[in-house]
């Protein structure tokens, strides 16, 4: 559906709403913040092309329409100065091999003006450009120069990926098939309290795992040993648990403790043990236990809609990956509509080879959660405002 057919204030302009792109110079904001690996000859290569493949529907459409495309993106966190290890050169080489003729700018975050939304930097970005397309959902929650600046100066639209992300997540929150289940993990509860509150008011059941579960367990009076706890948010977690929402916490956890004895090579050994909700002193919870895996799997299996964001534990360590793997498998087997978001969660899913079994794998982490929590993002608002200015101007001319 085109923006011209719906309410401008609530819908994004799409590619078809742009002026004729044939022969036009188009600045395409992409999210090509991809992992790189070092090669034997000392160069760097793209290690995972997921984000590049996600860009292809938009890039291919623009090229097919005759546009002269310049892609811009950030890569890593160079803190406003050049860093050879974060150069876009490997990404540029990969993308040019797939789409000959496309141009790729150097890392946007090499310039401090990107993150400060410096008007002078915006002017340099849009110089000699005719149109702007934002297909970087993962940065749409950032009021950075390349996200909110160009729509103030050029006719602008959302790319295929950005449009799809917004459509799926908006539908997920506003009109999900029920039962609607959300599963939230990860380490820092403070970063996700807002979205947890929003989800608790919209879902039928909210499952909480990962390192953040220990702040909730502490809030209930359980002993959490040496596990991660956010003391500044204990009261907020307690209030959320007392809100009469259907919230499920782990019944058991897998924990680690340094052993007093040493291994064969003389290095300190470690013990791994499963506890109920109360942990002994010195033990750190690092994964959900088998009872919790079984309960969470059963709840997910009965869902019509499921959102998963955040791993269940320290899945990078094979001793503590069973919880995350069990959830990934449950999501893959769920008969309902499944959505997975967050960089670590997506990485885990892909490492298990289960990403193709999920209905929608979001390219956003913070953007996904902020859109769910707040209902809008700076990058989306900028695109709508751009279209409205252009639309009103066209009507006045008529």
Q: Give the DSSP letter string of 71-111.
A: EE---S--TTS--GGG-SHHHHHHHHHHSTT-EE---GGGS
First-to-final CA distance of the chain = 23
**How do 253-262 and 284-288 pair as beta strands?**
antiparallel
The total of other beta-carbon atoms located within 10 Å of residue 98's CB is 14
CA distances from 336 to 173, 305, 332, 333, 359 (A): 15, 5, 10, 9, 9
Cα 189 to chain centroid distance, Å, stands at 16
Quickly tell me which residue has 């110089």 as its tokens: 127
* Domains assigned to the chain: 3-163+376-397 (3.40.50.1260), 178-335 (3.40.50.1260)
Q: Which of 154, 98, 113, 169 is nearest to 377 (CA)?
A: 169
pLDDT tens digits, 245-277 = 799 999 999 999 987 655 555 556 799 999 999
The two tokens of residue 330 are 């449950």
The per-residue pLDDT string of the chain (398 residues; one tens digit each, 9 = 90 and over) reads: 333 333 333 489 999 999 999 999 999 999 999 999 998 888 899 998 989 999 999 999 999 999 999 999 999 999 999 999 999 999 999 999 999 999 999 999 999 999 999 999 999 999 999 999 999 999 999 999 999 999 999 999 999 999 999 999 999 989 999 999 999 999 889 889 999 999 999 999 999 999 999 999 999 999 999 999 999 999 999 999 998 779 999 999 999 998 765 555 555 679 999 999 999 999 999 999 999 999 999 999 999 999 999 999 999 999 999 999 999 999 999 999 999 998 899 999 999 999 999 999 998 888 999 999 999 999 999 999 999 987 755 544 45
| Percentage of residues in the chain having pLDDT higher than 70 | 93
Note the pTM of the prediction, 2 decimals. Answer: 0.88
Question: Do 147 and 382 touch, CB atoms closer than 8 A?
Answer: yes
Tell me how long the chain is.
398
CA distances from 64 to 18, 98, 163 (A): 14, 14, 19
The two tokens of residue 316 are 């990078």
């Amino acid at each position: 559906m085109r923006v011209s057919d719906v309410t401008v204030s609530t819908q994004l302009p799409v590619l078809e709403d742009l002026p004729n792109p044939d022969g036009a110079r188009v600045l395409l904001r992409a999210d090509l913040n991809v992992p790189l690996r070092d090669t034997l000859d000392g160069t760097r290569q793209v290690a995972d092309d997921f984000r590049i493949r996600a860009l292809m529907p938009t890039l291919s459409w623009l090229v097919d329409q005759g546009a002269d495309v310049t892609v811009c993106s950030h890569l890593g966190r160079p803190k406003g100065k050049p860093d050879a290890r974060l150069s876009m050169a490997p990404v540029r080489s990969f993308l040019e091999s797939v789409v000959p003729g496309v141009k790729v700018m150097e890392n946007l975050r090499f310039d401090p003006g990107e993150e400060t939304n410096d008007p002078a930097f915006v002017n340099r970005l849009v110089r000699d450009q005719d149109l702007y397309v934002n297909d970087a959902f993962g940065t749409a929650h950032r009021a950075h120069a390349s996200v909110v600046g160009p729509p103030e100066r050029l006719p602008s639209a959302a790319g295929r990926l950005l449009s799809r992300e917004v459509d799926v997540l908006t539908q997920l929150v506003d009109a999900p098939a029920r039962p609607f289940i959300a599963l939230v993990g990860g380490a820092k509860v403070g970063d996700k309290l807002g979205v947890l509150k929003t989800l608790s008011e919209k879902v039928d059941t909210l499952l909480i795992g990962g390192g953040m579960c220990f702040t909730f367990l502490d809030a209930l009076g359980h002993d959490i040993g040496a596990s991660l706890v956010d003391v500044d948010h204990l009261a907020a977690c307690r209030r959320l648990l007392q809100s009469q929402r259907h919230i499920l916490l782990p019944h058991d956890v897998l924990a680690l403790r340094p052993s007093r004895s040493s291994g064969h090579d003389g290095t300190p050994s470690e013990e791994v043990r499963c506890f109920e909700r109360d942990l002994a002193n010195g033990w750190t919870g690092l994964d959900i236990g088998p009872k919790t895996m079984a309960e969470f799997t059963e709840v997910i299996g009965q869902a019509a809609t499921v959102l998963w964001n955040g791993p269940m534990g320290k899945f990078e360590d094979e001793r503590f990956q069973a919880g995350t793997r069990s959830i990934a498998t449950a999501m893959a087997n769920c008969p309902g509509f499944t959505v997975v978001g967050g960089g670590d969660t997506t990485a885990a899913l892909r490492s298990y080879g289960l990403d193709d079994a999920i209905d929608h794998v979001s390219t956003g982490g913070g953007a996904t959660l902020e859109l769910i929590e707040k209902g809008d993002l700076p990058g989306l608002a900028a695109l709508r405002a751009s279209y409205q200015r252009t639309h009103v101007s066209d009507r006045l001319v008529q």
